[in-house]
Structure 1
Amino acid sequence: MKRLCLALVLLLSFNAFSQAKDPRDPRREKLIGNILKNALETYHYRGIKINDEVSQKAFQQYLKKIDGSKQFLTKGDIKELEAYQFQMDDEMVSGDYVLIEKAGAVLKKRIALAEALRKEVFKKQFDFNGSETLELDPEKRDWVNDESKLKTNWEIVFKQATLNKYLSLIDEQTEKPTPKGAKASTKPVKKMKAEKKLTDAEMRAKAHESVSKRFQKIFERLAALDRDDQLDNFYNSISAVFDPHTNYLPAKKKEDFDIDITGKLEGIGAVLQEDGSFIKVVQIVPGGPAWRGKELEADDIILSVAQGNKESVDLTDMKVDDAVRYIRGKKGTEVRLTIKKVDGTRKIISIIRDEIEVAASFAKSSVIQMKDTDVKVGYIQLPKFYRDFENAKINCTDDVRKEIERLKKAKVDAIILDLRNNGGGALEDARLMSGLFLEKGPIVQVKNHMGQIEVLEDDDPSVSYDGPLVVLQNRFSASASEILAGAMQDYGRAVIVGGDYSHGKGTVQAVLDLNRGPLVSIFGETMGALKVTIQKFYRVTGASTQYKGITPDLVLPDIFSYVESREKDLEYSLPWDQIQAKPFTKWNKFAYNLPDLKAKSAARVKSNPRFAKINRNVDYLNKKKKETIVSLNLKKVQEEEVANKKMAEELKLEEENKNLLVTNFEDSLKAHENIRPGDMKKWSKDFEQRKEEWVKTLRQDVVLEEGVMIAGDIVKSLRVKSTVSSK
Structure 2
Amino acid sequence: MKKSFLILMLTVIVSAASCSFTTKVENDPDKDKLLIDLISYVLGKGHYDAKNINDDFSKEVFSDYIDALDPLKRYFYKSDIDEFKRYEKLVDDEIRNKDITFFNLTYNRLQQRMAEARILHKEILEKPFNFEKDESIDTDYEKLPYVASKIDMRNRWRLQLKFNVLSSYYDKVEEQIDSVTKNSNYKRKTSVVLEQEAREMTEKSLKDYFEIADDLERKDWFSIYINSIVEEFDPHTYYFAPQDKDRFDIAMSGKLEGIGARLQKKNNNVEVIEVISGGPAWRGNEVEVGDLILKVKQEDENEPVSIVGMRLDDAVSLIKGPKGTKVTLVVKKVDGTTEFIEITRDIVELEETYAKSSIVKKNDKIFGIVNLPKFYFNMQDYNQRNAAKDVKQEIIRLKEQNMDGLVIDLRDNGGGSLQTVVDIAGLFIEKGPVVQVRTKGESPEVLSDKDRSILWDGPLVILVNELSASASEILAAAMQDYKRAIIIGSKQTYGKGTVQNVMDLNRWMRSNDFGDLGALKLTTQKFYRVNGGSTQLEGVKSDVVVPDRYSYIDIGEKDQENPLPWDKIAAADYKIWNGYIDFDQTINNSKERMSKNDQLKLIEENAKWVRQRRDVNMYSLQYGKYKSNIAANEKRVEYFKAIGDYKTNLTFQSLPYERKMMQEDSILERKRNRWHESLSKDVYVEEAISVLEDLKINNIRRSKNPVSLKN
Q: State TM-score, norm by structure 1.
A: 0.73
The equivalent position to 1:637 in structure 2, one of 620, 623, 626, is: 626
> What is the distance in 1 between the residues matched to 2:514 and 2:368?
56
Distance 1:155 1:325, change over 3 A: farther
Deviation per residue, 1:16-62 (Å, 9 max, x gap): xxxxxxxxx85322211110110111111112232222112111111
The equivalent position to 1:703 in structure 2, one of 684, 706, 711, is: 684
> What is the distance in 2 between the residues matched to 1:401 and 1:210?
50
> What is the distance in 1 between the residues matched to 2:206 and 2:417?
43
Note if 1:237 corresponds to 2:237: no
| Contact 2:360/2:650 (8 A) holds in 1 | no
Give 2:531's aligned residue. 541
User: What is the aligned residue count?
Assistant: 609
The equivalent position to 1:93 in structure 2, one of 91, 96, 110, is: 96
Give 1:304's aligned residue. none
Give 1:531's aligned residue. 521
Q: How does 1:441-520 map to 2 (within 5 A)?
A: 441-516=432-507
The equivalent position to 1:610 in structure 2, one of 594, 599, 621, is: 599
Q: How many Å apart are 1:468 and its aligned residue? A: 2.5
> What is the distance in 1 between the residues matched to 2:393 and 2:212?
53
Q: Which amino acid aligns with 1:458?
A: D
Q: How many Å apart are 1:490 and its aligned residue? A: 0.8
| Contact 1:240/1:246 (8 A) holds in 2 | yes
| Contact 1:509/1:533 (8 A) holds in 2 | yes
Q: How does 1:108-127 map to 2 (within 5 A)?
A: 110-111=113-114, 114=117, 117-118=120-121, 120-127=123-130
The equivalent position to 1:380 in structure 2, one of 370, 376, 383, is: 370
Give 1:578's aligned residue. 568
> What is the distance in 2 between the residues matched to 1:95 and 1:689?
54
Distance 1:143 1:288, change over 3 A: farther
| Contact 2:406/2:458 (8 A) holds in 1 | yes
Deviation per residue, 1:462-490 (Å, 9 max, x gap): 11222322211112222221111110011
Q: How many Å apart are 1:608 and its aligned residue? A: 2.4
Q: State TM-score, norm by structure 2.
A: 0.74
> What is the distance in 1 between the residues matched to 2:315 and 2:685?
37
Segment drifting more, 402-411 vs 453-462: 402-411
Q: How does 1:82-481 map to 2 (within 5 A)?
A: 82-104=85-107, 106-107=109-110, 110-111=113-114, 114=117, 117-118=120-121, 120-144=123-147, 147-167=150-170, 200-209=191-200, 211-212=202-203, 226-264=217-255, 357-358=350-351, 361-369=354-362, 371=363, 376-388=366-378, 392=383, 394-481=385-472
Q: How many Å apart are 1:107 and its aligned residue? A: 4.1
| Contact 1:498/1:556 (8 A) holds in 2 | yes
> What is the distance in 2 between the residues matched to 1:149 and 1:552?
50
Deviation per residue, 1:175-232 (Å, 9 max, x gap): 99xxxxxxxxxxxxxxxxxxx9976544422333454576578679879975324422
Give 1:45's aligned residue. 48
Distance 1:683 1:149, change over 3 A: farther
> What is the distance in 1 between the residues matched to 2:215 and 2:459?
61
> What is the distance in 1 between the residues matched to 2:176 and 2:194?
10
Distance 1:638 1:355, change over 3 A: farther
Q: Which amino acid aligns with 1:600?
A: N
> Cα RMSD (Å) of the superposition?
4.4
Q: How many Å apart are 1:458 and its aligned residue? A: 0.5
> What is the distance in 1 between the residues matched to 2:131 and 2:215?
33
Give 2:547's aligned residue. 557
Give 1:597's aligned residue. 586
> What is the distance in 2 between the residues matched to 1:205 and 1:519?
61
Q: How many Å apart are 1:131 and its aligned residue? A: 1.8
Distance 1:682 1:531, change over 3 A: farther
| Contact 1:46/1:449 (8 A) holds in 2 | yes
> What is the distance in 2 between the residues matched to 1:132 and 1:323?
40
> What is the distance in 2 between the residues matched to 1:638 and 1:326?
44
| Contact 1:540/1:584 (8 A) holds in 2 | yes
Note if 1:713 corresponds to 2:694: yes
Deviation per residue, 1:49-91 (Å, 9 max, x gap): 3222211211111121222212233444333322211211221
Give 1:77's aligned residue. 80
> What is the distance in 2 between the residues matched to 1:93 and 1:467?
58
Identity %: 35
> What is the distance in 2 between the residues matched to 1:288 and 1:504?
35
Q: How many Å apart are 1:510 and its aligned residue? A: 2.1
Distance 1:37 1:399, change over 3 A: closer
For structure 2, the 5+ residue unaligned runs are: 1-7, 14-27, 180-186, 265-273, 279-288, 293-309, 321-328, 335-346, 703-711
Q: How many Å apart are 1:686 and its aligned residue? A: 6.3
Q: How many Å apart are 1:5 and its aligned residue? A: 12
Give 2:57's aligned residue. 54
Higher relative contact order (CA 8 A, sep 6+): 1
Q: Secondary structure at the match of 1:447?
A: strand
Q: How many Å apart are 1:597 and its aligned residue? A: 3.4
Give 1:181's aligned residue. none
Q: How does 1:59-70 map to 2 (within 5 A)?
A: 59-70=62-73
| Contact 1:403/1:668 (8 A) holds in 2 | no
Q: Which amino acid aligns with 1:626?
A: D
Q: How many Å apart are 1:362 and its aligned residue? A: 2.4
Q: Which amino acid aligns with 2:373?
A: P
Give 2:556's aligned residue. 566
Q: Which amino acid aligns with 1:139?
A: E
Greater C-alpha Rg: 2
> What is the distance in 2 between the residues matched to 1:498 and 1:220?
42
Q: How many Å apart are 1:116 and its aligned residue? A: 5.9
| Contact 1:506/1:547 (8 A) holds in 2 | yes
Q: Secondary structure at the match of 2:613?
A: helix
Give 1:180's aligned residue. none
Q: Secondary structure at the match of 2:142?
A: helix
Note if 1:659 corresponds to 2:649: yes
Distance 1:668 1:451, change over 3 A: farther
Segment drifting more, 578-587 vs 90-99: 90-99
Segment drifting more, 621-630 vs 148-157: 148-157
Give 1:647's aligned residue. 636
> What is the distance in 2 between the residues matched to 1:94 and 1:146?
35
Distance 1:334 1:625, change over 3 A: farther
Q: Secondary structure at the match of 2:158?
A: helix
| Contact 1:111/1:223 (8 A) holds in 2 | no
Q: Secondary structure at the match of 1:456?
A: strand
> What is the distance in 2 between the residues matched to 1:334 and 1:170?
34
Note if 1:587 corresponds to 2:577: yes
Deviation per residue, 1:96-125 (Å, 9 max, x gap): 322224434654665566456445534421
> What is the distance in 1 between the residues matched to 2:104 and 2:384?
53
Distance 1:220 1:462, change over 3 A: closer
Q: How many Å apart are 1:438 and its aligned residue? A: 0.8
| Contact 2:237/2:520 (8 A) holds in 1 | yes
| Contact 1:33/1:95 (8 A) holds in 2 | yes
